[in-house]
Chain A
Amino acid sequence: MSSNEDLNAQIAETNETTLINNQYLSFLLGNEPFAIPVTRILEIIEYDQVTIVPTAPERYRGVVNLRGKIIPVIELTKVFGLEDSEITKRTCIIIMEVSLDNETIMIGCMVDKVLIVQEIEDDAIEETPALGTIIAANYVKGLSNIDDRFFTILDTDTLFSAQELIIGYDAGLSQSTFTSTEATH
């Protein structure tokens, strides 16, 4: 078990040194192991002071202040329909950079525990079975057997698509606006 600092250093190093890599960060939701590619990960922070965003869909836990930036936090258990888990000292937020409609934004994913950064070769990832995935198949890129445990490798393209993330995305598309509704950044 590594500390957040070690993991952050490891993530930063992999993202700096290699353009394409097979490095994955593994984490737990409840007791289920998952993994996501490290390429989009910026850092891991401890769970602390999340401000509720009322009227937002349930999957949004709220927002956090990361050095002056406001970051929306997604509760992955809610997205996947898994059982809620309690907030512990191990609860973390994985900060990632995602691109929505040509705009890069930062989001956070709340997980129960981060494990390690490890290499998973492409051929070690088994195709998603039609049945028997623990979460909806469209979020799954494949499964990987690591030390006799099946890790669910997440499909970050679907998980972090504009459709999935932006509130009222479809309604927003049908609106023809004179100017972008985005205020100053």
Chain B
Amino acid sequence: MNSEMDENLSIFISEGNELLEDMESALLDLESNPNDSESMNRVFRAAHTIKGNAGLFGYDQIIDFTHIMESLLVEVRNGIVPITSDLVSLFMRSKDIITSMMDSLVGSGEVDQNDLDEATKLLEHYLADPHAAALAANPCDEDGSATQVETPTGIFTINLKLGTETFRQGFSIKAIFRELNELGVITSANLFMPDIPKLDEIDPESCHLSWLLLLESSCQKQAIADIFEFMDDCEFHILSPESKTEEYKKIISLLPNGEAVIGQILVTSGALTEKELQTALDRQKETGSRTGDILVEQGDVQPEVLESAIAKQQQTRAASSQSIEFLRVNASKLDTLINLVGELVINGERVSGLTENIDDDKLAEAVTEMNETLEEMRETALGLRIVPIDGVFKRFNRTVRDTSNELGKQINFEISGGETELDKTVAEKITDPLTHLIRNAIDHGIEKPSERELNNKPPEGHVALSAYHETGSIVIKVSDDGKGLNKEKISNKAIERGLIKQNDKLSDSEIYNLIFEPGFSTAEQVSNISGRGVGMDVVKRNIESLRGNINVESEEGIGTNVIIQLPLTLAIIDGFLICTENEDFVIPLDMVVECLRLTKEQTKEMEKHNYINLRGEVLPLIDLKKHFCLPKTLENEPETKNVIVVQHSGKKTGLLVDSLHGEVQTVIKPLGKIFQNLKGFSGFTILGSGNVSMIIDVSSLITDASEKQRDSFMNQPHGQNSNETISSESAEI
């Protein structure tokens, strides 16, 4: 029971967080485009669903708060409260409060009571007096705001047939007309007395009056209906003005998908009153015709309004049939499944290997078929975790908004490539580093508006976040058109911090990459956004822990690009199996460029230097058995040597090994707690034989090897030019 509760709670929280995220992005859209009905709809839907879910579990605090928020949202949606930047901020704040309420449910945070009280008060203030609140929020716009809240006037056609008991019930016709006059101007009143009885049957206390009234008013239909509400036996039909048709149609299109009954859609939109609907439903039972037709016939709604309600109904039905196709699954179950599929793929390879030498066509056929299915299964299983990066990207709208407001900078934030897909784990882990990079771009990159204008740039800074796929990996780019990196400043700082020496000659990209060194910060003034010197190094480490890499391009005065390259998935990779000193290693296939067999001359050349001549190019070599200090297992060195050429950051390096064993599919097992800080490897994998093999992390292997080489040169200085070339060559990698 308890665990069931926990599971429900976690579902509530995870769904709630998704909704809140969506609400936030919708609010931001709304701020830039107040007329965007779809965004308004999304905000409303999120608040509404959260309230509903909270209701299921009885989280009163959330229910109460979202209720007030929802009420205000209804007013906003109906155009009674105008959308202002302050209002959006208030909703944002409310969203944050709900987030903290949900966090507090799982004990990871507390709700700030003052904040809650204040926000509630503000929401209620808007609700109680939308006009004044709008004025208060927009004091410089006094003339305009009055017309903003008014809806256009139009002529209502009211068909009113009073019941015979009207007078006896104590209603006065005068009072009815007075109330109607309060709502607007009665432009025409035609009296009908269709069922007046014969003179001798007349009861002076009975009422037999009917009117066809034209009322010019800007009020809502319900307000008119309210006048007749208590007159039980009176029959009335109010046809809204033509001018309202558009409004109703708009409201109907804005309604959340959820109501599938036409009558109810019309009532919610305000085009139909409850009573009219009831009458129509009663008549439907008698006649059997369609509700919609009756309503039009009775003169309750315009045919166009009915049409848009029908369209809405169909949309709702389509949406509800669509939602059945989605299933919420515990992520850990999914991980287990993916792991199992991985194991199965490995086992499948093992079976193929074992059956290779058995001369049985049927067996071979069955094995082939099984492997095909397994491959398909692997693809599908991997796809389960793949999500578009859009969800991550959208969160940064808020980051940009808040940061730029805080710093008084105007930012035009552009997102592209949101549809690019990647593993959910990678997507989650990339959020924090990206937040840091974006804040950095706004804080350090983009200049103050005044400074920008001096440099002939538009006052509004441009920050772009983009993603695209590139050969087995995803590339994410954060660019800004700010002042760019100052090479001199970075060098000076790095010398000051002892990261480089005064007379070190570094390439531009080496200088730029110094900003990823721990303890490096060039911000002259420490702000609370960035500039404490922790950050870029952490960003780099986080990216590397995802088997990715990060690079900076910059041009002073023009801007900066930070480019992150990440693997699509953390679970399974195609690898290339190599062997040296009887130890197997796997190299990610997308790093491998080619394989070489060394000729005798090349072996000699290799023994002299640590490189070979590859078609006129220098190819630096890393001897894996030396680099890894592997114990000798072979009596004699093998006659021929093999080199596997890998490419990383555009540079080629050769890895010297004993033998090459071709492609394998591998399920990556993490290094685990004990080996997590080990350099040069990204994980383990279990081979078809059941043996464990290590997966080489090419980038960190190369970095490690070039450091080692540099150290060895420092310790025993060499005079040879050729070696110097190599050391700087590999240092750049």
Contacts and interface: CB of A to CB of B under 8 A. Distances in A.
Given A53-B694, A178-B432, A183 B680 contact: no
A171 B694 contact: no
B630 A54 contact: yes
A63 B675 CA distance: 10
Given A177-B538, A179-B432, A166 B677 contact: yes
Interface string A146-176: 0000000000000000000111100110011
Interface stretch (B84-92, B180-188, B550-558, B682-690): B682-690
Contact of B583 (A52, A60, A179, A184): A52
B168 interface: no
Contact of B677 (A72, A101, A168, A179): A168
A65 interface: yes
Contact of B673 (A49, A63, A103, A179): A103
B673 A70 contact: no
A185 interface: yes
Given A68-B686, A182-B676, A52 B542 contact: no
B570 interface: yes
Contact of A70 (B628, B630, B669): B669
Contacts of B678: 53, 55-56, 167-168
Interface string B534-558: 1000110110010000000000000
A117 interface: no
Contacts of A166: 673-674, 676-677
A53 B680 CA distance: 11
A52 B674 contact: no
Interface residues of B, number: 44
Nearest to A175: B541
A107 interface: yes
B124 interface: no
A64 interface: yes
B136 interface: no
Q: Which of B432, B627, B675 has the most CB of A within 10 A?
A: B675
B425 interface: yes
A181 B545 contact: yes
Contacts of B538: 175-178
Contacts of A100: 673-674
Given A65-B690, A183-B570, A165 B674 contact: yes
Interface in B671-706: 671-681, 683-684, 686, 690-694
A136 interface: no
A185 to B, nearest CB: 7
A166 B672 CA distance: 10
Given A178-B433, A178-B542, A184-B571, A51 B583 contact: yes
A55 B673 CA distance: 16
Interface residues of A, number: 36
Contacts of B693: 51
Contact of B545 (A49, A53, A107, A183): A183
B670 interface: yes
Contacts of A179: 429, 432, 542
A178 B429 CA distance: 9
B677 A70 contact: no
A107 B433 CA distance: 33
B517 interface: no
Contact of A185 (B542, B670, B675, B679): B670
Interface string A39-56: 000000000010111111
B375 interface: no
> In this complex, which of B583, B684, B692 has the most chain A Cβ atoms within 10 angstroms of its Cβ?
B692
Interface in A114-171: 165-168, 171
Given A166-B674, A184-B335, A51 B692 contact: yes
Contact of B628 (A54, A60, A101, A176): A54
Contacts, number: 111
B677 A105 contact: no
B629 interface: yes
A93 to B, nearest CB: 13
B674 A176 contact: no
Interface string B252-277: 00000000000000000000000000
A134 B584 CA distance: 37
Interface string A89-121: 000000000001101010100000000000000
B534 A176 contact: yes
A164 B177 CA distance: 91
Given A100-B673, A168-B677, A176-B534, A52 B630 contact: yes
A51 B675 contact: no
Contacts of B694: 51, 53-54
B548 to A, nearest CB: 12
A109 B628 CA distance: 23
Contacts of A178: 432-433, 436, 538-539, 542
Contacts of A60: 674
B680 A51 contact: no
A41 to B, nearest CB: 18
Indicate the member of B570, B673, B677 with the most A CB atoms within 10 Å. B673
Q: Which of A55, A60, A64 has the most CB of B within 10 A?
A: A55
B578 to A, nearest CB: 13
Contact of A107 (B429, B674, B679, B683): B674
A184 B428 CA distance: 12
Contacts of A181: 541-542, 545, 676
B235 interface: no
Nearest to B581: A52
A28 B571 CA distance: 40
Interface in A71-91: 72
Nearest to A54: B628
A63 B678 CA distance: 14
Given A54-B680, A166-B677, A168-B677, A182 B670 contact: yes
Contacts of A167: 674-678
A57 to B, nearest CB: 10
Given A52-B583, A178-B539, 11 more contacts: A54-B628, A54-B629, A55-B680, A72-B675, A105-B673, A167-B674, A168-B677, A179-B429, A179-B542, A181-B545, A184-B571
6 contacts: A55-B628, A55-B680, A100-B674, A165-B674, A167-B677, A177-B542
